[in-house]
Amino acid sequence: MKEIGEQILKESDVAIIGGGAAGCLAAIAAKEAWPEAEVAIVEKASIRRGGSIACGMDAINVVVVPELSRVEDLVRAQMSAAQGILDPSVVRAVGEESFGVLKDLESWGVEFPHDERGQYQIFRQWTARDTAAAVTSISMAGELKVILEREVAKRGVRRIEHAPVTAVFAVDGRVAGLSALHIRQEKFLVLPAKTVILAAGSAARFGLPETGVLHAVFDCPACAGDGYSLGYRAGAELVNMECVKHYFTVRFFNGPGLAPLSHGSRLVNALGQAFLEKGSGGLELNNYMDLFSAVLREYREGRGPVYIDTRPLSREMVEELERCFFTTERPTFKKFFNAWGLKIGRDLIEANLSEAVLCGGHGINGLKVNARAETNVTGLYAAGDVAANATSLMGAFVLGRIAGREAARLARQIGFAALVAEEVEAERNRVMAPLLRADGIPPALLERKLRQTVNQYVDNPKSGPKLRAAETRLARLRHEVSRLKAADFHDAMKAVEVQAILDCADMVVAASLERKESRWGIYHFRVDYPERNDEQWRKFVVVKKDVASRPAVSTQPVMGG
Ligand SMILES: Cc1cc2nc3c(=O)[nH]c(=O)nc-3n(C[C@H](O)[C@H](O)[C@H](O)COP(=O)(O)OP(=O)(O)OC[C@H]3O[C@@H](n4cnc5c(N)ncnc54)[C@H](O)[C@@H]3O)c2cc1C
The pLDDT-based confidence of 125 (bands split at 50, 70, 90) is: low
Q: Is the pLDDT of residue 269 over 80?
A: yes
Q: Read off the DSSP letter of residue 111.
A: B
Q: What is the pLDDT of residue 142?
A: 66
Q: What is the Å distance from ligand 1's center to 481 Cα? A: 27
Q: Is the pLDDT of residue 81 over 90?
A: no
Q: What is the pLDDT of residue 136?
A: 59
Atom of ligand 1 nearest to the CA of 256: 1
Is there a contact between 152 and 35 (Cβ–Cβ < 8 Å)? no
Q: Is the pLDDT of residue 113 over 90?
A: no
Q: What is the pLDDT of residue 66?
A: 87
Mean pLDDT of the chain: 91
Distance between CA atoms of residues 53 and 114, nearest Å: 22
3-state secondary structure labels for all residues of 184-251: CCCEEEEEEEEEEEECCCCECCCCCCCCCCCCCCCCCCCCECHHHHHHHHCCCCEECCCCCECCEEEC
Residue 350, ligand 1, Cβ within 6 A:
no
Q: Which of 41, 43, 52 to mutate to test the pocket of ligand 1 (most atoms within 8 A of CB)?
A: 52
Q: Is the pLDDT of residue 481 over 70?
A: yes
Q: Is the pLDDT of residue 537 over 80?
A: yes
Residues 29-57 have a mean pLDDT of: 93
Paired strand residues for 175: 170
For the chain, percent of residues with pLDDT exceeding 70: 92
Residue 40, ligand 1, Cβ within 6 A:
no
The pLDDT-based confidence of 139 (bands split at 50, 70, 90) is: low
Residue 225, ligand 1, Cβ within 6 A:
no
Q: Read off the DSSP letter of residue 10.
A: P
Order of strands, sheet of 238-239, starting from the edge strand that comes earlier in the sequence: 366-367, 238-239, 539-545, 551-557
Q: Read off the DSSP letter of residue 417.
A: P
Q: What is the Å distance from ligand 1's center to 528 Cα? A: 35
Q: What is the pLDDT of residue 259?
A: 76
Report DSSP letters for 72-101, one per residue.
HHHHHHHHHHTTT-S-HHHHHHHHHHHHHH
The pLDDT-based confidence of 265 (bands split at 50, 70, 90) is: confident
Q: Is the pLDDT of residue 132 over 50?
A: no
Is there a contact between 237 and 542 (Cβ–Cβ < 8 Å)? yes
Q: What is the pLDDT of residue 285?
A: 46
Q: What is the Å distance from ligand 1's center to 363 Cα? A: 12
CB neighbours of 187 closer than 8 A, spacing ≥ 6?
A: 4, 5, 6, 7, 181
Is there a contact between 361 and 392 (Cβ–Cβ < 8 Å)? yes
Tens-place pLDDT, residues 285-305? 455 777 888 899 999 999 999
E strand or H helix that includes residue 270: none
Architecture in CATH for domain 7-62+76-107+140-244+357-413? 3-Layer(bba) Sandwich (3.50)
Residue 42, ligand 1, Cβ within 6 A:
yes
Residues 476-483 have a mean pLDDT of: 98
Q: Do domains 7-62+76-107+140-244+357-413 and 248-353 have the same CATH topology?
A: no
**463: exposed, middle or buried (C-beta count within 10 Å: 0-12, 13-18, 19+)?**
middle
CB neighbours of 103 closer than 8 A, spacing ≥ 6?
A: none
Q: Is the pLDDT of residue 246 over 90?
A: yes
The pLDDT-based confidence of 216 (bands split at 50, 70, 90) is: very high
Between 181 and 254, the more confident residue is: 181
Q: What is the pLDDT of residue 518?
A: 97
Q: What is the pLDDT of residue 532?
A: 97
Residue located nearest, by CA, to atom 31 of ligand 1: 20
Distance between CA atoms of residues 54 and 146, nearest Å: 10
Q: Is the pLDDT of residue 1 over 60?
A: no
Residue 459, ligand 1, Cβ within 6 A:
no
Cis peptide before 461 (omega within 30 of 0): yes
Distance between CA atoms of residues 221 and 52, nearest Å: 9
**pTM, to two decimals:** 0.95
Residues 531-549 have a mean pLDDT of: 97
Q: What is the Å distance from ligand 1's center to 115 Cα? A: 29
- In CATH terms, the fold of domain 421-536 is Methane Monooxygenase Hydroxylase; Chain G, domain 1 (1.20.58)
Residues 95-114 have a mean pLDDT of: 92
Q: What is the Å distance from ligand 1's center to 26 Cα? A: 14
Residues 28-53 have a mean pLDDT of: 96
Q: What is the pLDDT of residue 2?
A: 52
Q: Is the pLDDT of residue 257 over 50?
A: yes
Report DSSP letters for 273-329, one per residue.
-B-SB-TTSSB--SSHHHHHHHHHHHHHTT---EEEE-TTS-HHHHHHHHHIIIIII
Is there a contact between 366 and 240 (Cβ–Cβ < 8 Å)? yes
Residues 407-413 have a mean pLDDT of: 98
- In CATH terms, the fold of domain 248-353 is Flavocytochrome C3; Chain A, domain 1 (3.90.700)
Q: Where are the domains of the chain?
A: 7-62+76-107+140-244+357-413, 248-353, 421-536
Q: What is the pLDDT of residue 559?
A: 83
Q: What is the pLDDT of residue 77?
A: 84
- Distance (Å) of CA 450 to CA 426, 476, 510: 24, 10, 16
Residues 186-191 have a mean pLDDT of: 97
Q: What is the pLDDT of residue 280?
A: 33
Residue 20, ligand 1, Cβ within 6 A:
yes
Q: Is the pLDDT of residue 141 over 90?
A: no
Residue 165, ligand 1, Cβ within 6 A:
yes
The pLDDT-based confidence of 266 (bands split at 50, 70, 90) is: confident
The pLDDT-based confidence of 321 (bands split at 50, 70, 90) is: confident
Q: What is the pLDDT of residue 222?
A: 97
φ, ψ dihedrals at 389, nearest 5°: -145, -25
Q: What is the pLDDT of residue 383?
A: 98
Q: Is the pLDDT of residue 283 over 50?
A: no
Tens-place pLDDT, residues 51-80? 998 877 767 888 888 888 889 988 988 898
The pLDDT-based confidence of 277 (bands split at 50, 70, 90) is: low
- Distance (Å) of CA 396 to CA 136, 381, 401, 413, 434: 16, 13, 8, 26, 34
- Distance (Å) of CA 175 to CA 37, 169, 230, 235: 17, 6, 12, 10
Paired strand residues for 352: 249
CB neighbours of 413 closer than 8 A, spacing ≥ 6?
A: none
Distance between CA atoms of residues 240 and 225, nearest Å: 14
Paired strand residues for 169: 177
3-state secondary structure labels for all residues of 357-383: EECCCCCCCEECCCCCCECCCECEEEC
Residues 474-498 have a mean pLDDT of: 98
Atom of ligand 1 nearest to the CA of 164: 42
Q: What is the pLDDT of residue 232?
A: 98
Atom of ligand 1 nearest to the CA of 55: 1
